[in-house]
Amino acid sequence: MKNTIKMSLVAALAVAGLSTAAAAEDTKFSGKLYVENTNATVNDGSSLNHFEIDFDVTGKKKISDTLTAVVGIEADSDNDEDDNLAKKTVTVDDAYFAYANNGATAKFGRQGMNTPTTDGELGEGLMATYTMGAITVAGAHYDVNEFAAEANVLAVLGTAGPVNFELWQVNVQGASENTTGVVSGKAAGWNLSLRHAMTDYDGATPDGSTTKIVASGKVDKVALTVVGVSTDKDGPVYVTDASSANAAELTYFNSRYTKDLAAFAVIASMPFTDTVSGTVKYGAASFDQTGTDDDSASELVLQVNYKLAKSATMTARYSDYTQEIANTDTDKEQLRVDLTYKF
C-alpha cells in the first residue's frame, strides 16, 4: 500500500512537471541584461567609479484568443564607491491582463503609464484603447501610481494624409493638468516632429510649457538627428523617455525642472563595418537655474558601438561636459563601457 502511494505521488509530480513544462512552452519571454561601468573625473579633482546592472524580463502567457497575462520584473544595481549590494532592489514593473478584440484593447493591473508626461512611471489601474480606421481613442485611470494621487488620461491619436498627430490630456488629482500635442510626418526624405506641452499646476508651482522639434534623416551613410528644445521661464514640461526628450543623452535634455531653457543637439552616426559603427553627439544649452539668465552648458560625446552577436552590443562612450552656473565653471569627463544583451 505504501509503495502504491509513493508511486502515485511520483506519478502525480511527474504529470505536474510535464504540465508546467507544457505551460512554459506557451509562454513568451523577452528582456534585457545591461552592464555598465563609468569612470568620471571633475575639474575640482574628485572622481567617481560607477557600476550599474539592469536586468529586465517579461513573460507573456496567452490565456485565450483575446486575453493575455503579462508579468515583468526589473532588477537594478546602481553602485558608486560608497554603495553596497544590500541596497539593490527587485521590482515588479508589469503585472496585468491584456485584452484585445476587434480594435479594442485594455490593460488591467500594474503597468507603465506611457503618456507624454508620465513615461516610465508605474501605475495600477486600467488603460483602454479603441481603433476606428486611422483614429485611435485612449483613456486610462490609475488609482495608485508614483505620483501618489489618482491620474486620468484621455488621448486621440491618428493620421491625416501624410501627417501623424497625437493629443494628450493627463490630469494628476490635486497636482497638475497637462495638455500635449504632437505632429509628425516626412518631408523631402526627413522625419519631422513638433511637440508642444503645457501644464497647469495646482498650488504655488508656476505653470510651465515645453516645445521640442526633431528632424532626422540620412545623408549618404550618415544618419543625422537634430533636436531643439525650449522651456517656459517658469518651468518646463518634459518627456523623459530615450526616444524623445533624452534623445541626445545630454544632461539638460533630461531635466524636468530647467527653466527658460534653449537647447539644441546634433547626433551623427555611421557604420564602419558590419559590426562597428560610430556616433558623435554635441549639444549646448542656456537656461536659468540661479535667476540670472546666464547659466549655460555644453557636452560632446564620442561613441563606438560594436555588435558582438545578433542580440548583443558593446559600447564605449567618452563625454566632455561643461557648465557655468553662478559664474562657477564645472568640467566633467566621463568614460563609459557598457554591454547590452536583448532576448
Residue 40 placed within a domain: no
Distance CA 106, CA 102 (A): 12
Query: What is the model's pLDDT at position 295?
Result: 86
Burial of 256 (0-12, 13-18, 19+ CB in 10 A): middle
Query: What is the model's pLDDT at position 2?
Result: 39
The pLDDT of 57-79, averaged and rounded, is 92
As given in the structure block, the three cell numbers for residue 45 are 579633482
DSSP state of 1: -
Write out the residue range of the structural domain in which residue 210 sits: 206-343
Three-state DSSP class for 226? strand
Nearest CA-CA partner of 287 in 224, 239, 234: 234
Residue 220 placed within a domain: yes
Residue 52 placed within a domain: no
pLDDT band at 10 (very low <50, low <70, confident <90, very high): very low
Residue 123 placed within a domain: no
The pLDDT of 305-323, averaged and rounded, is 94
Residue 269 placed within a domain: yes
CATH code, domain with 278: 2.40.160.10
Domain total for the chain? 1
Question: What backbone torsions phi and psi does residue 265 show, to the nearest 5 degrees?
Answer: -145, 145
Q: The whole model's pTM is what?
A: 0.81
Instruction: Give yes or no for a contact between 182 and 116, defined as CB atoms under 8 angstroms apart.
Output: yes
The more confidently predicted of residues 1 and 96 is 96
pLDDT band at 254 (very low <50, low <70, confident <90, very high): low
Mean pLDDT for the chain?
84
Residue 310 placed within a domain: yes
The pLDDT of 251-278, averaged and rounded, is 83
8-22, 32-46, 122-136, 230-244: least confidently modelled range: 8-22
Residue 322 placed within a domain: yes
The more confidently predicted of residues 205 and 104 is 104
The more confidently predicted of residues 119 and 328 is 328
